[in-house]
Amino acid sequence: MPRLLETSLGVVNVGLAQFAETIAAAGGAVTQLEWTPPAFGDRATGMALARLTNHPATEAANTRALAAFLGAAPVLRGVGAARSTLPGMGERMILHAGPPLEWARMCGPMQGAIAGAILYECWARDAGAARALAASGQIAFDPCHHHGAVGPMAGVISPSMPVWIVEDAARGARAYSNFNEGLGKALRFGAYGADVLGRLKWIETKLAPAIGAALAPLGGIELKPLVAQALIMGDEVHNRNAAATALLLRRLAPALVRARLPADDLAQVLDFIADNEHFYLNISMAMCKLMLDAAHGVAGSSMVTAMSRNGVEFGIRVSGLGDRWFTAPAGAIDGLYFAGYGARDAALDLGDSSITETAGFGGFSMAAAPAIVKFVGGTPEDATANSMRMRHITLGEASTFQLPALDFRGAPCGIDVRKVVDSGIEPVINTGIAHRDAGVGQIGAGITRAPLACFTQALCALDAEANRS
């Protein structure tokens, strides 16, 4: 002790910065270490975290869940009508994004998209009648996730809409998504004008059958190699799908020609895909859903298998916790707005597309897509930092999906509820921004985070399950 005091003293202060400030003000050398107690000092959550951290049963379950996720072999198999393709789809049913939600609580763009779907199905004559029908209780509303499907933004799927079929070549399981309509005025952003409905009808009657005819003789398209290439070509396959769409078109174009469609229809189909750099998004989402479903249902696993938003609530599902949703209020989005719009016009966080982040893409793979910052904001350094930060809350890296900017290390994947609660690092999500009112459409894009409260609830539920068994 006397010798210690003879040498010059340095101080490391852990936690509250005020202590360090006092020392610094008195001329002392002090290093401030950022630290917060686990579970933010909440005793019950902290105890649950302590019990589950390094628990052999949880570790083993997570190893199994991650292996199942990584072992899935998604193939774009074909297209089908929602009514005959989606498990449990009813004839007077409309699916939507996120956890369950009744009509009265839905946000503007979701109500707009549902009104549009009712008009598209010819269940009502005008928007007013459509909204009345929606409010009447005669239409069943259900999350896409409850029917093996995912949909971006409002995520509305009605019985006549065509859906992509992505199949796991390893297990035979399937996942589904609707078709992407392009940017701007689109049903998924709550627009339902005649142009929107006409395009949906063209997608149903021309585009989907053409693609179905092209895919059949190919026997499907393996999606992992395509996405791996797209990551090397600057996509994060959530808000940037320029490369994936071009690569898909490269595979589809010769097959579409061989399907011997009328030349005018064929040219329109090719134009439509060529003109929409987000065309691949919905296929990306169905692929992610399929891979995460493979990891779902492993008893004791703390791996997140879905993150989704309905514009009111953000919800997650966890491998070891069955069909339960753990929800918290949907957040706002920090983003870039189209000319004439701003944050006050924005709906809250919306859509199933955060399934891509759940699978390690989107915000988690931003290092692959420096150009995304021109769309969602920030700098290329931020993009790389986001990917590196997400490593702290994930179970592993997908060696199939390499990120060149991180020296070809794999995309961080398998969000661990425990790690999120322990570190306080919330999953980062790249997302579009819908206008808060029905009928307007997209007004920007940006970055948001999954609320910590979803993860603390799930952690306590995992702990309760572990104590019960």
Cα(462)–Cα(61) distance, rounded to whole angstroms? Answer: 12
Judged by beta carbon, residue 87 or residue 404, the one nearer a second copy is 404
SS3 175: strand
Among 232, 299, 385, 452, contact with a second copy (rule: CB under 8 A) = 232
CA angle 206, 211, 213 (to 5 degrees): 95
450 phi/psi in degrees, rounded to 5: -70, 130
Stretch that binds a second copy, among 66-74, 116-124, 228-236, 331-339 (CB under 8 A): 228-236
42-71: contacts with a second copy (CB under 8 A): none
Listing DSSP states for 131-159 in one string gives HHHHHTT-SEEEEGGGGTEE-STT--B-T
Spell out where 109-218 has E strands.
140-143, 149-150, 162-168, 174-178
Residue 167 Cβ, how far from a second copy at the closest point, in Å?
23
We find the least distance from the C-beta atom of residue 371 to a second copy, in angstroms, to be: 4
211 binds a second copy (CB under 8 A): no
Residue 327, both tokens: 């929800």
Q: Which is nearer to a second copy, 323 or 407 (CB)?
A: 407
In the complex with a second copy, the residue whose CB is nearer, 251 or 324, is 251
Output the smallest distance, CB 268 to a second copy, in A: 8
- Residue 325 in 3-state DSSP? coil
- Closest CB to a second copy among 103 and 375? 375
Per-residue tokens: 450: 């999954």
Sign of CA dihedral 152, 101, 429, 464: negative
Residue nearer to a second copy on the CB measure, 196 or 243: 243
Structure tokens at 447: 């970055």
Nearer residue to a second copy within complex by CB, 53 or 400: 400
Find the binding residues for a second copy in span 387-446 (CB under 8 A).
404-405, 407-408
Applying CB under 8 A, does 243 fall inside the site for a second copy? yes
Bridge-based pairing of strands 174-178 and 149-150 is parallel
Strand 394-403 vs strand 409-415: parallel, antiparallel, or unpaired? antiparallel
| Identity of the residue, 251 or 449, whose beta carbon is nearer to a second copy in the bound complex | 251
Helix (H) or strand (E) holding 449: strand 442-449
Min CB(361)–a second copy separation in Å? 16
Interaction of residue 458 with a second copy, rule CB under 8 A = no
Footprint (CB under 8 A) of a second copy, residues 245-284? 246-247, 249-251, 253-254, 257-258, 260, 263, 266-267, 270-271, 274
Per CB under 8 A, contacts with a second copy among 328-387 are 370-371, 379-381
Q: Near a second copy by CB under 8 A, which window of 1-9, 46-54, 115-123, 229-237?
A: 229-237
Strand positions, DSSP E, 34-139:
74-81, 93-96
For 173-267, list the strands marked E by DSSP. 174-178, 221-222
Q: Footprint of a second copy on this chain (CB under 8 A)? A: 229, 232-234, 242-243, 246-247, 249-251, 253-254, 257-258, 260, 263, 266-267, 270-271, 274, 370-371, 379-381, 404-405, 407-408
